[in-house]
Structure 1
Amino acid sequence: MDLDEVTIRRLSRHCLRFRDPDDRAAWFQFGTTLALFLAAAGLMLFGAATGNYALLALFLPAGGLLVRLFGVQHDCGHNSFFTSRRLNRSVGRFLSLFTLTPFGYWSRSHAVHHTTAGDLGRRGIGDVDTVTIDEYRRMTPAARRRYRLYRNPLLLHVVGPPVYFILFQRSPFGQSLPFRDAWRSIMGLNLALLLVYGGLIAAFGASVVALAILPTAFVASWVGGWLFFVQHQFEDTHWEESEDWSMQRAALIGSSYYVMPKVLQWFTGNIGLHHIHHLNCRIPNYRLQACLDGEPMLGNLSRLSLRDSFRCIGLALWDPAARKLVAF
């Protein structure tokens, strides 16, 4: 669906009404989610330490709660969760201990993603690597094999997310932003992780901590990686050359409205309403649904059901002529 400028401006004005944080709602979401997560993590640690391995089944809800905490950290990175900028930074950095994501570095790279999503001339920071059909045809055979390997569903959706969140984010080398921007944030978090999880290992043993922590981290990384993929990698997404690119248009028709059951929407912190988030990233996640409910047209843009989302797995190339993402 294409949108005229008048409609885009109208939708943008509507979203402005929901951009102010509500500290009471923010504290309630943060406090309840953190308490539930820590309770689940504590029970799993107890189960691994005492041999009550049935408690380790809590890794599934704990993984969901970790995704929800990542949503809080994500909003803190946009300075949209609390009214206080300092509180946003403090809570965002604190949550890095659980999400394993360096708050300062990730926030900067994610801000670049918001200002470049859907722009063919500015790809490569905070997005899934995507090439056009013509670019793919001009690749060498070796480059094609590398791109096919990268877009292989097993690597992209199963192996890749845990490797990225648990291992790749530990190194300031090879990141999308300059080394100096990555070093302090990443290495500072690494030191904090060493102290916290090193202390747990010293107290309970490495195998106990691994049994209690890693399954949750794997689940959260798989869910988070999948959400990030379907938010922009759907058939009718939007890419445009830089001279014709508009951030508002790219937000509304290049970011999906991922329609999920309410329980999944809760665990994922409303991030499925991604078209609204990209249109105005200052709207806290706990106000996205009200924003959607207040403007019926937003509910009809870029809709992607759970069933439809699985058809996105094979998509890999942007076809400028058809204006669609297509398979190899």
Structure 2
Amino acid sequence: MKRITINNIVRPYAKPSNARAIWQLANTLLPYFGLIALMFWMLQAGIHYLLVLPLSILPALFLVRIFILFHDCTHSSFMTSKKWMTVIGHVLGILTFTSYHQWQREHLTHHRTVGNLQQRGVGDVWTMTVDEYQQTSWLKRLGYRLYRHPFFLFGIGPFYMFVINQRLPIAMKTKKDWISLLISNLGILAIILTVSFTVGFKYYLMIQLPIIFIASSLGVWLFFVQHQYEEVYWADSDEWDITEAALKGSSVYKLPRILDWFTGNIAYHNVHHLNARIPNYNLRKLFHSTKAFRNSKEINILESIHLATLYLYDERLKKLISRRTFKKQYS
């Protein structure tokens, strides 16, 4: 599909609505805080923590949705006012443990470079080629193997990235980065102190930690599935095309409708990468408006499970391969 044709199809959907944005904030934040209050009430009522803990899945799903609203703010696609998106984005960033401007800068870099072999490393999942892996030191190979292990990549890693790494002055490049880091850290500290001096720090940990652990793992899994599958598009800089990268380097994750709602329709990731100014509430509608978008890789939940085994990009085969395949072909 030609780029000019795509632009004509996409442009009408790249219009934010303040009314829709306000409604999304209400139908996301109110249930989120309501569920947290319910968990606190259950703990106060003497209900065993192991019976309360499973309930944290629901606010974790709402926190994923909060992150999508934050994500739309970073793309200036959530509302018509950039100023209000910056303000709301910082507030949502506090709730999701994410520094607004640094994440925005790195994520926009991801959009500009996705699928470009020479420009990996910013805002994406660390992916080595077969040649790079074979030529690097054993220590770096060990680090890469640990990084790509599902236990780290979808468990320890996401929790560390949001709760700890996002609190540290790492990779700060602009004054805005520093200001956002200060705002997010002070905001999180204010919440912790407020809760500690009212209901108790113990309850904050018992409720917040499982929520952020589950939500961060789900978020990283979503991002992984949408850019890490066998036939994913990668190309050298001189051959790389941003439209091809969007349609062939971003999957469509076929989720139940309720999960589409919780994930802000980000599963229609090919459409999102075609034009990041499309608000989350228009992604699904646009995807179903034309059959051309169905040419992208579609993955259902069962099919996505094995993607966690993918390991290296094979430039000869032009596909991602598992560690088992690498051993068979290159050892």
- The answer, yes or no, to whether TM exceeds 0.5 is yes
Cross-structure match for 1:134: 131
CA contact (8 A) 1:172 1:187 kept: no
1:81 and 1:40 mapped to 2: Cα distance?
25
SS state of the match for residue 13, structure 2? coil
Q: What per-residue deviation string (whole Å, max 9, x for no partner) do you get for residues 162-207 of structure 1?
A: 111111111012x3x5375643221221111111211101212221
Matches within 5 A, 1:1-40: 6-40=1-35
SS state of the match for residue 115, structure 2? coil
Q: What per-residue deviation string (whole Å, max 9, x for no partner) do you get for residues 139-159 of structure 1?
A: 122221111111111111111
1:111 aligns with 2:104: no
CA contact (8 A) 2:253 2:299 kept: yes
1:97 maps to amino acid: I
CA contact (8 A) 1:260 1:306 kept: yes
Matches within 5 A, 1:153-302: 153-173=150-170, 175=171, 178=173, 182-302=177-297
**What's the offset of the Cα at 1:87?**
1.4
2:173 and 2:271 mapped to 1: Cα distance?
30
CA contact (8 A) 1:172 1:179 kept: no
- Count of matched residue positions in the alignment of Structure 1 and Structure 2: 321
Deviates more, 1:66-75 or 1:303-312: 303-312
SS state of the match for residue 180, structure 2? helix
1:51 and 1:213 mapped to 2: Cα distance?
18
CA contact (8 A) 2:21 2:79 kept: yes
CA contact (8 A) 1:119 1:239 kept: yes
SS state of the match for residue 80, structure 2? coil
1:79 and 1:182 mapped to 2: Cα distance?
17
Aligned sequence identity (%): 36
**What's the offset of the Cα at 1:86?**
1.2
CA contact (8 A) 2:39 2:52 kept: yes
SS state of the match for residue 326, structure 1? strand
1:137 and 1:56 mapped to 2: Cα distance?
44
CA contact (8 A) 1:82 1:88 kept: yes
1:69 aligns with 2:66: yes
Q: What per-residue deviation string (whole Å, max 9, x for no partner) do you get for residues 216-249 of structure 1?
A: 1111111101011111011111111111111111
CA contact (8 A) 1:114 1:278 kept: yes
1:58 aligns with 2:55: yes
1:13 and 1:326 mapped to 2: Cα distance?
36
TM superposition score normalised by structure 2: 0.93
1:250 maps to amino acid: A
**What's the offset of the Cα at 1:8?**
4.2
2:224 maps to amino acid: F
1:323 maps to amino acid: K
SS state of the match for residue 304, structure 1? strand
Considering only aligned residues, what root-mean-square deviation do their CA atoms show, in Å?
1.5
CA contact (8 A) 1:49 1:204 kept: no
CA contact (8 A) 2:94 2:185 kept: no
Gaps of 5+ in 1: 1-5
Deviates more, 1:192-201 or 1:44-53: 44-53
1:113 maps to amino acid: H
**What's the offset of the Cα at 1:11?**
2.6
CA contact (8 A) 1:48 1:56 kept: no
1:47 aligns with 2:20: no
CA contact (8 A) 2:247 2:295 kept: no
